[in-house]
């Protein structure tokens, strides 16, 4: 029996509820809050975004970044990469993204199987002429 839209939405809500309680989500939220609460990290991020905005304005005007902007950008990148809270955030973000990727692959896999009625099924059958 085919699933109706509401059944699928209800199942998605159950997945969302499970996901909200997953340790990767909690770790990500904690790392995000830790960054926001750290004045040094916040300042570093503001400065990085400011330099990035300046470089972006230059690019829209058809100009390359100035040497000062390039050096400032690289220096800030190095500081961010070595900052412990940014590292923790980056790792937590990776874990969460990996979890979301696995979830996405799980629901997409049946759609790609021949006979599932999805795009994979049409490709397996090849083009069909209906009269």
Check which CATH number belongs to the domain holding 42 and give it. Answer: 1.20.1500.10
Residues of the domain holding 119: 5-125
Q: What is the pLDDT of residue 128?
A: 58
User: Do the domain assignments include residue 72?
Assistant: yes
**Domain contains 86:** yes
The model's pTM is 0.71
Total domain count for the chain?
1
List, for residues 81-124, the tens digit of each pLDDT value: 999 999 999 999 999 999 999 999 999 998 887 765 555 545 55
For residue 65, is it left (φ>0), alpha (ψ between -120 and 50) or beta?
A: beta
What's the mean per-residue pLDDT of the chain? 89
Residue 64 pLDDT: 94
Q: Say if residue 78's pLDDT is above 80.
A: yes
For residue 130, being part of any structural domain is answered with: no
pLDDT at 127 exceeding the cut of 90: no
131 is a domain residue = no
Contact 51, 73 (CB under 8 A): yes
Average pLDDT over residues 14-19: 96
Hunting for tokens 């995000």 — which residue is that?
32
């Amino acid at each position: 029996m085919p699933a109706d839209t509401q059944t699928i939405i209800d199942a998605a809500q159950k997945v969302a509820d499970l996901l909200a309680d997953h340790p990767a989500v909690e770790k990500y939220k904690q790392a995000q809050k830790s960054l926001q609460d750290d004045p040094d990290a916040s300042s570093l991020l503001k400065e990085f975004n400011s330099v990035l905005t300046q470089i972006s304005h230059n690019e829209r005007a058809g100009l390359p970044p100035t040497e000062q902007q390039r050096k400032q950008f690289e220096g800030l990148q190095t500081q961010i990469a070595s900052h412990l809270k940014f590292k923790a955030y980056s790792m937590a973000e990776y874990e969460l993204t990996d979890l979301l990727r696995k979830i996405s692959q799980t629901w997409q896999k049946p759609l790609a199987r021949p006979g599932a009625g999805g795009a994979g099924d049409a490709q397996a059958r090849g083009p069909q002429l209906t009269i």
